[in-house]
Chain A
């Protein structure tokens, strides 16, 4: 290869590297403002709640001077802008503040409960991905057949059922009638993996049905349209196998909208954890947020919100990167 030719290849690769850098920049340029605005709202929620821990801490007989001193200790007498900067500074160092209710650090409270919520949401996401992809693939490839219609009907029915209805139905069948799975409680994975799976089984399935239905429908649509593209005919004429055409060529181009749907579903999985944890009486982060809100424990509520924001943004970033890898054309548009 002559130097001039090598240069040509390098120019192309450089252009692609630049496009990738542009893609990363544009993704971050969305994620950072979203993080700032969402955390600002979280902070302001605490301010407008009008809740003040000082009176509670000082007790009934406290004099106004004592209350003022406690307020000063907590920094609540500072201007709001300054309070925000301090709060954000702590947050970026991983300090979510201290519970007004029991004085335990919010990070610690959340860290205790996060594994439970993550277990349920993560398992629900995993099941949603596996079954949604499977059903979507079958329906897309066999579009127009009876099995396609059956899958489409199934998706329409389950997506019209709220997760808590599905949860009660599953409890009725698997806990009360069959007695296979517990209807409440949580066992850490480290203590008993089988018990852990049994405990999160029903809540995870209940949460995952929406993901399954959405993903299956979106993937089916994407596959049907991608299968009618000219490049599929081109690949057939080139003598490639059906399996290779489906998994290497078609799926790659059909997966985009389906992945986007999954990304949109992640916040709902985390939100859904609040309801399911209440139903199954599990001490997860959702339950912590609900209990703390009822107690007026502002730092803990804010902490759970910030953790949720970070989780959702991280998931969206992952999906965006995956989309960029699968479909370089998407980079060009951004």
Chain B
């Protein structure tokens, strides 16, 4: 308590004048679960004032838990078993609730993934901002309101007054993250932790948010910890990087060192992930292949919700064995297009043909027959939510088979389930498990196996790899490519990750404000885009920063 009071009462400028001591030092940090499992082991680093540290790793690597331990907001059941976290000369593990409150917001601050969920859904965002300002800076209502409006302007809202009165559900992901950033810096903290702050945002928005964080960092003299599963995101902003895996540091050093001379194979795989897409090699380019008859074709399609038209004048074809990549930002109509093809949204005008048969406008029994046939299958982004939590994986896969051909008998269905699981690279033993007992990658394979069991002609994939880490993403992409090549399953593949699309798609269609603005062979289109929007999308994609900022000797990982 007394130590903290001293820290807080110190003049900030005086503290900044002596950059030698680390602002944050983490030592031998060990985080365990209630059942004793070790989730983070021997995490350690010293972060100098004004430094920028990136922590990179796949989901479950312990990077976010480290951040939450620093902020003392670990999920229930998890605790710091040993190690120390020091902020300036305060041992954070010894703080009482009052001291923590004085520290959070004013000294330490954070922004997170899924920003909308970090705002109270029932209160306009401006009032939440003013509340945080009043709580931390002891300001009067009017002054707090003015400061809130000013901050909203600083994080990039042209119309701060309008945003002030809006509820979180009225904001897009990027807008919500801007509000969260305003909240984080409202009391002038020294250390900002950005935990996957740009994940799941559109590439263009992601680039803007990263630029905003970097600008504010310079202007405010913030010390920054940027956590991401994406090495490219981190490399653009940070001068130092820690690579984590399974709760441990794999490698640490200056960004330049890590990028140019990675010591571990794991780091190299993260870098390779961005450089080339190995699966793109060794397959016939459909541009060279003879023109095939499309299995699915969409002509002059208009569709939307009620009177609102979301997609307009869409013309698309997919041939057997072909993967069509569909790219575009959130709200461009990608998902609406897929849902219309699937018959979940009625087409206003236009035609959708599957194997020469019109499937738009089907209702009643013909629609049910089409669905039971399994010719058209859909894979969603979040595998956990697309599997019945109370059905075993095997039962989920068998359900469609049973509905289509119950007369097959139990043993035949079992055989099909096993075959489907094998085809996606899962052990047949997993069929008796419940979805929540599987890892994210296994779950998404199980969903694909469920679709596969019905021997679909067309697979519609809506962000199927977005929730997966780099390693699993690569495996699932390879699997999808193989299904196209070996089984001739046509696929429409939506992703906001241009790398994934470039990796597996034969052709690419770019959707912008509900219209296809450009379409062509994947390689040619991505290498040489003709539409300005496509160019903007490509430019916004995070790249490894080749010329990393100069290293600072003060940063130490030992």
Contact call A229/B105, Cβ cutoff below 8 A: no
Contact call A12/B180, Cβ cutoff below 8 A: no
User: Chain B contacts of A5 at CB under 8 A?
Assistant: 158-162
Interface residues on B, range: 35 or more
User: Chain A contacts of B101 at CB under 8 A?
Assistant: 239-241
The verdict on A237 contacting B122 (CB below 8 Å), with A12-B165, A13-B165 known, is no
Distance in angstroms from B391 CB to nearest chain A CB is 24
User: Chain A contacts of B183 at CB under 8 A?
Assistant: 234, 238
**Stretch in B112-120, B285-293, B413-421, B450-458 touching the partner:** B112-120
Residues of A241-276 whose CB lies within 8 A of B: 241-242, 244, 248-249, 252-253
Q: Answer yes or no: A119 CB below 8 A from chain B CBs.
A: no
Select B135's contact among A8, A9, A233, A238, beta carbons within 8 Å. A238
Q: Answer yes or no: A11 CB below 8 A from chain B CBs.
A: yes
Q: Answer yes or no: B164 CB below 8 A from chain A CBs.
A: yes
Distance in angstroms from B469 CB to nearest chain A CB is 21
Interface residues on A, range: 20 to 34
Contact call A329/B169, Cβ cutoff below 8 A: yes
The verdict on A9 contacting B164 (CB below 8 Å), with A237-B105, A239-B132, A240-B132 known, is yes
| Interchain CA distance A229-B169 in the complex, whole Å | 15
Contact call A327/B122, Cβ cutoff below 8 A: yes
The verdict on A9 contacting B162 (CB below 8 Å), with A230-B118, A234-B118 known, is yes
| Interchain CA distance A279-B359 in the complex, whole Å | 68
The verdict on A239 contacting B162 (CB below 8 Å), with A234-B180, A329-B167, A332-B169 known, is no
| Interchain CA distance A245-B161 in the complex, whole Å | 25
Q: Answer yes or no: B331 CB below 8 A from chain A CBs.
A: no
User: Chain A contacts of B123 at CB under 8 A?
Assistant: 249, 252
Q: Answer yes or no: B121 CB below 8 A from chain A CBs.
A: yes
The verdict on A235 contacting B161 (CB below 8 Å), with A241-B135, A242-B97, A332-B169 known, is no
Q: Per-position contact with B for A1-45: 1 when CB-CB < 8 Å, else 0?
A: 100111011011100100000000000000000000000000000
User: Chain A contacts of B404 at CB under 8 A?
Assistant: none
Distance in angstroms from A166 CB to nearest chain B CB is 36
User: Chain B contacts of A12 at CB under 8 A?
Assistant: 162-163, 165-166, 170
Q: Answer yes or no: A236 CB below 8 A from chain B CBs.
A: yes
Contact call B162/A238, Cβ cutoff below 8 A: no
User: Chain B contacts of A6 at CB under 8 A?
Assistant: 161
Contact call A238/B105, Cβ cutoff below 8 A: yes
| Interchain CA distance A236-B109 in the complex, whole Å | 10
Q: Answer yes or no: B187 CB below 8 A from chain A CBs.
A: yes
| Interchain CA distance A172-B270 in the complex, whole Å | 76
User: Chain B contacts of A248 at CB under 8 A?
Assistant: 131
What residue of chain A has the Cβ atom nearest to residue B76's Cβ? A228
| Interchain CA distance A248-B119 in the complex, whole Å | 13
Select A239's contact among B76, B135, B160, beta carbons within 8 Å. B135
User: Chain A contacts of B109 at CB under 8 A?
Assistant: 237-238
Residues of A309-334 whose CB lies within 8 A of B: 326-329, 332
The verdict on A253 contacting B135 (CB below 8 Å), with A236-B73, A238-B183, A241-B101 known, is no
Distance in angstroms from B529 CB to nearest chain A CB is 34
User: Chain B contacts of A16 at CB under 8 A?
Assistant: 165
Tell me the interface secondary structure of chain A in the complex.
Answer: helix
Q: Per-position contact with B for A90-118: 1 when CB-CB < 8 Å, else 0?
A: 00000000000000000000000000000
Contact call A11/B135, Cβ cutoff below 8 A: no
User: Chain B contacts of A189 at CB under 8 A?
Assistant: none
User: Chain B contacts of A231 at CB under 8 A?
Assistant: 117-121
Contact call B136/A234, Cβ cutoff below 8 A: no
Distance in angstroms from B248 CB to nearest chain A CB is 25
| Interchain CA distance A9-B158 in the complex, whole Å | 11
What residue of chain B has the Cβ atom nearest to residue A234's Cβ? B118
| Interchain CA distance A240-B109 in the complex, whole Å | 12
What residue of chain A has the Cβ atom nearest to residue B189's Cβ? A239
Select A326's contact among B122, B161, B165, beta carbons within 8 Å. B122
Q: Answer yes or no: B504 CB below 8 A from chain A CBs.
A: no
Q: Per-position contact with A for B174-214: 1 when CB-CB < 8 Å, else 0?
A: 00000010011011000000000000000000000000000
User: Chain B contacts of A11 at CB under 8 A?
Assistant: 162
Contact call A328/B164, Cβ cutoff below 8 A: no
Contact call A253/B73, Cβ cutoff below 8 A: no
User: Chain A contacts of B73 at CB under 8 A?
Assistant: 233, 236-237
Distance in angstroms from A175 CB to nearest chain B CB is 46
What residue of chain A has the Cβ atom nearest to residue B187's Cβ? A239
Q: Answer yes or no: B110 CB below 8 A from chain A CBs.
A: yes
- Which interface residue of B71, B76, B132, B158 has the most chain A CB atoms within 10 A? B132
Distance in angstroms from B447 CB to nearest chain A CB is 25
Q: Answer yes or no: B106 CB below 8 A from chain A CBs.
A: yes
| Interchain CA distance A171-B158 in the complex, whole Å | 68
Q: Answer yes or no: B102 CB below 8 A from chain A CBs.
A: yes
Residues of B303-321 whose CB lies within 8 A of A: none
User: Chain A contacts of B76 at CB under 8 A?
Assistant: 228
What residue of chain B has the Cβ atom nearest to residue A10's Cβ? B162
Q: Answer yes or no: B104 CB below 8 A from chain A CBs.
A: yes
Distance in angstroms from A224 CB to nearest chain B CB is 11
User: Chain B contacts of A13 at CB under 8 A?
Assistant: 165
User: Chain B contacts of A8 at CB under 8 A?
Assistant: 159, 161-162
Q: Per-position contact with B for A55-69: 1 when CB-CB < 8 Å, else 0?
A: 000000000000000
Chain B interface residues (CB < 8 Å from chain A): 71, 73, 76, 97, 101-106, 108-110, 112, 114, 117-123, 131-132, 135-136, 158-167, 169-170, 180, 183-184, 186-187
Please name 26 pairs of A and B residues whose Cβ atoms are closer than 8 Å in the assembled complex, sorted by A: A5-B159, A9-B159, A9-B161, A12-B162, A12-B163, A12-B165, A16-B165, A228-B76, A229-B117, A230-B117, A231-B121, A234-B112, A237-B71, A237-B104, A237-B109, A239-B102, A239-B103, A239-B105, A239-B106, A240-B132, A244-B135, A253-B122, A327-B122, A329-B167, A329-B169, A332-B169
Chain A interface residues (CB < 8 Å from chain B): 1, 4-6, 8-9, 11-13, 16, 228-231, 233-242, 244, 248-249, 252-253, 326-329, 332
- Shortest beta-carbon contacts, A-B, top 6: A239-B105, A234-B118, A8-B162, A9-B161, A8-B159, A230-B117
16 more contacts with CB within 8 A, not counting A238-B135, A252-B122, A329-B169, are: A8-B162, A9-B162, A12-B162, A12-B163, A12-B166, A12-B170, A229-B117, A231-B120, A233-B112, A233-B118, A234-B180, A236-B104, A237-B184, A238-B183, A239-B136, A240-B131
